[in-house]
Structure 1
Amino acid sequence: MAQGTIRYWAAAKAAAGVHEEPYDAVTLADALARAARVDGRDADFGRVIGRSSFLVDGVPVGKRPHEAIELPEGGVVEVLPPFAGG
Structure 2
Amino acid sequence: MAKGTVRYWAAAKAAAGVAEEPFEADTLADLVVKITLKYENPDLERVLGRSSFLVDGDPAGIRDLSTVALKDGAVVEVLPPFAGG
Shared fold, TM over 0.5: yes
Unaligned runs of 5+ in 2: none
Identity among equivalent pairs (%): 61
Q: Name the residue aligned to 2:30.
A: 30
Q: How many Å apart are 1:62 and its aligned residue?
A: 3.7
Q: Name the residue aligned to 1:83.
A: 82
Deviations along 1:4-29, one digit per CA (max 9) or x if unpaired, are 00000000000111000111010000
Aligned residues: 85
Alpha-carbon RMSD across the aligned residues, in angstroms, is 1.1
Deviations along 1:60-79, one digit per CA (max 9) or x if unpaired, are 01421000000010010000
TM-score of the superposed pair, with normalisation by structure 2: 0.94
Q: Name the residue aligned to 2:42.
A: 43
Pairwise mapping of residues 46-57 of structure 1 onto structure 2 (< 5 A)? Answer: 46-57=45-56
**Are 1:20 and 2:20 counterparts?**
yes
Q: How many Å apart are 1:37 and its aligned residue?
A: 1.3
Pairwise mapping of residues 68-79 of structure 1 onto structure 2 (< 5 A)? Answer: 68-79=67-78
Structure 1 residue runs of 4+, over 3 Å off? none
Q: Distance in 2 between matches of 1:76 and 1:28?
A: 11
Deviations along 1:14-69, one digit per CA (max 9) or x if unpaired, are 01110001110100000111111114x41111100111100000000142100000
Could you say which structure has the higher helix fraction? 2
Matched AA of 2:32: L
Q: Distance in 2 between matches of 1:46 and 1:38?
A: 11
Q: Distance in 2 between matches of 1:63 and 1:32?
A: 14
